[in-house]
Amino acid sequence: MQMRLMDYTKFRPKPAEEISEVFQRVNRIFILSCGKCFKKFEEEDEGQYAQLLETLGADRTKVVGHTQVDFLCNEFLSGKRISDLDLSRCDSIGVTSCGLGVQFVARLLERTPVYALADSVPHSPNYPAEVGYHGISLEEEKCAACGQCYLNLTGGICPITNCAKGLLNGPCGGATDGKCEVNSSVDCAWVRIHERLKKRGEQSASEYVQPRDYSRPSWKVTNGLSLQNQALRGGGFYGGFHPLENKEATADKRVERFPEPQVAVIFLSQHAGRRAKPVVEPGDKVKVGQKVGEADGFVSSSIHSSISGNVISVEERAYPAAQREELAVVIENDGKNELHPSIQPRDDFEALPKEALLDIIKESGIVGLGGAMFPTHVKFSPPRPVDTLLVNGCECEPYLNTDNRLMIEHPEEILAGISIVQKILGVDKVFVGVEENKPEAIAALSRFSDKYPSVELVSLKTKYPQGAERSLIKRILDRDVPPPPKGLPFDVGVMVSNVGTLFAIYQAVAKGIPLFQRVITVSGEGLTRPGNYLVKIGTPIKDIIQYCFDENVDGLLEKYDVKMGGAIMGIPQASLESSVIKGTTGLTVLKKHPVMASEERDCIKCGRCVEVCPMQLYPLFYGFYGKKGDLAKAVEHKVEECVECGCCEYMCASKIALLSFIRQEKAYARSASKG
């Protein structure tokens, strides 16, 4: 469908004589120009500054500096950028933007005169009666936000923004050949309304409209709405948003043990770092909890069998966390469920020294279960001491209840896990962050607050991506972790661990059970048996999905997307042939939408991606330069600092596949830095 994109840039330069009047009042002026809004993104620099210099003529010598600030009305980011500027040499600031940008800069720099070098532009053929707003698109339709919508009477054509006289009870009678008498280049709105109603088979002008209430909405109401909105968006950390949580379907479901798999496909790479070395061969008999892969080097992790049976093969299989094949140990279940003799509870675990605890964690193959799968024994050996442990029980991903259920059903084990980690790290202070949409989990944990006085439970206002460790550290401790790829939480003295990992640590240390099973949530659309299941690592994804669906799931991927993880950060599965790994937080099944994110669409500079990026980046550049193939430019715009939380793509008003561009650009940055 060919689109006609309107240019809704909200400002144009002031006439030369007005600008020259401003320049008579100043001696040394610094120019801030706004990277224009709401226009098809074609150039990063739209030449406003060059145009201004041309207009200035001899006055240009008074300009002491210039910066383009994209989306000047984003107060948080623009405020930071402006406060980083050296404005000591200027006596005033000139701003090229709409009235919002000028007013914002004037408020920010209270002691410096701020001048507008542009006029805002009314985008309504019916100005001054109404200003027309265009939503988050570049379509022709506009809305006056009058608060008393007339569209149900006028065939879906707004007489307020389209009739030059704003008439509500029919045409003025002055139209000629269907054109407006005020502006003959515009169609008469009432002729269009009449035609539309005829097409719809509705009676034209069937009833009189009561006189319109033209009073301005009360300042208290509009300002209250604005403040409410700011509080909602700004809560705790910059960026993020509030997705529909969709957690109800499984929030109250107890964790059930999932049936034993007939065949388990256990990948040897279920962690960040080097793949584990296989220590079994086809034909070997293995028992539950027996080691089948040995950690290969420091940043690696051991792998254990989740069932008892015979090793059929060690071969490459479809890997769920990326579009590739990975080496896996394939084991056929003998149905006996025999435990390996190494699994023995340790009654004396509280007396074990730090080194022994770390060794157990390493031997048990524990990795970060929030999804990152970083080997825990490596993470807990930070190069610098930390002073605080943050326990992540946010689970801000829609649909998932894995951590929620663990907190409800095993609060004491999680707290005991915390004590073990406290001992390893030598930290006194522990915060457990839980989003307030999990009241049961909060209640369960707080039952033991007397027994664990150093652990403070923090109830957090729900917001995505609160569970991202940087957001959580900012929210709870107000500390800023330096940007990736180099900055890590221990740089600010913090260690973050997920509740699932802590539960696994307790299981390993106290019960001697290595990591061969985990809780996952299976939820989404169209499922007949959504739930929370304790599954063996290596259980085929297809078995799980089939268990939760009534109909045969062979053709499922034609109608549904299956993601490993939640709806936002989950990894889409190209087939159901893969199996559960340690980082599988859940399986989310979603109906395919008629409109999917695409690399082809054009950015319209709505700025929403900038508003939601918790890393305070400008993701629109990643789409723009990614499409152009100019990956180096994306690196200039700090693509390496992206944490791939997916907020930008989720919010993108043009449904641009930003994450796919970002991943390409980050790969390019990594290869470039290696030389």
Site for other proteins in 176-205 (CB under 8 A): 183, 185-186, 196, 199-202
Taking CB under 8 A as the rule, which mask of x and - marks residues 58-97 in contact with other proteins?
Answer: -------------x-xxx----------------------
Cβ distance to other proteins smaller for residue 635 or 652: 652
Q: Does 110 bind other proteins (CB under 8 A)?
A: yes
In the region spanning residues 583 to 612, those forming contacts with other proteins, defined by CB under 8 A, are 593-595, 606-608, 610-611
Q: 490, 557, 200, 508: which is closest to 362 by C-alpha?
A: 508
Interface with other proteins (CB under 8 A), residue total: 102
CA distances to 176, 268, 517 from 585, rounded to whole Å, are 66, 18, 12
Q: Does 104 bind other proteins (CB under 8 A)?
A: yes
Give buried/exposed letters for 315-331 (b at 16+ CB in 10 A, else e).
eebbbbbeeeebbbbbb
524 Rama sector, left if φ>0, alpha if ψ -120 to 50, beta otherwise:
left
E-state strands within 525-645: 531-536, 560-564, 571-572, 586-591
Cβ distance to other proteins smaller for residue 251 or 455: 251
Q: What are phi and psi of 456, to 5 degrees?
A: -105, 125
675 neighbors 648 (Cβ within 8 angstroms): no
Shortest spacing between CB 51 and other proteins, in angstroms: 16
Shortest spacing between CB 12 and other proteins, in angstroms: 7
CA distances to 327, 338, 491, 520, 581 from 268, rounded to whole Å, are 6, 22, 31, 20, 10
Contacts of 524 (CB under 8 A, 6+ apart): 399, 530, 560, 567, 587, 588, 589, 590
Q: What are phi and psi of 401, to 5 degrees?
A: -135, 15
Taking CB under 8 A as the rule, which mask of x and - marks residues 24-43 in contact with other proteins?
Answer: -------------x------
Q: 257, 249, 256: which is closest to 590 by C-alpha?
A: 249
Q: Does 351 bind other proteins (CB under 8 A)?
A: no
Stretch that binds other proteins, among 149-157, 396-404, 448-456, 542-550 (CB under 8 A): 149-157
Cβ distance to other proteins smaller for residue 201 or 675: 201
Taking CB under 8 A as the rule, which mask of x and - marks residues 212-231 in contact with other proteins?
Answer: ----xxxxx-xx-xxxxxx-
For residues 106 and 100, what is the distance between their CA atoms, to the nearest angstrom? 10
Cβ distance to other proteins smaller for residue 197 or 389: 197
The residue within the footprint of other proteins, chosen from 29, 56, 90, 102 (CB under 8 A), is 102
In the region spanning residues 228 to 267, those forming contacts with other proteins, defined by CB under 8 A, are 228-230, 232-233, 241-242, 244
466 neighbors 472 (Cβ within 8 angstroms): yes
In the region spanning residues 118 to 137, those forming contacts with other proteins, defined by CB under 8 A, are 118-125, 127-128, 131-137
460 neighbors 391 (Cβ within 8 angstroms): no
Q: 336, 321, 305: which is closest to 537 by C-alpha?
A: 305
Stretch that binds other proteins, among 261-269, 498-506, 549-557, 650-658 (CB under 8 A): 650-658
The residue within the footprint of other proteins, chosen from 41, 115, 503, 624 (CB under 8 A), is 115
Cβ distance to other proteins smaller for residue 215 or 552: 215
Shortest spacing between CB 137 and other proteins, in angstroms: 4
Contacts of 424 (CB under 8 A, 6+ apart): 354, 357, 358, 380
Q: 509, 510, 533: which is closest to 520 by C-alpha?
A: 533
Q: Does 284 bind other proteins (CB under 8 A)?
A: no
Cβ distance to other proteins smaller for residue 397 or 543: 397
The residue within the footprint of other proteins, chosen from 53, 64, 87, 106 (CB under 8 A), is 106
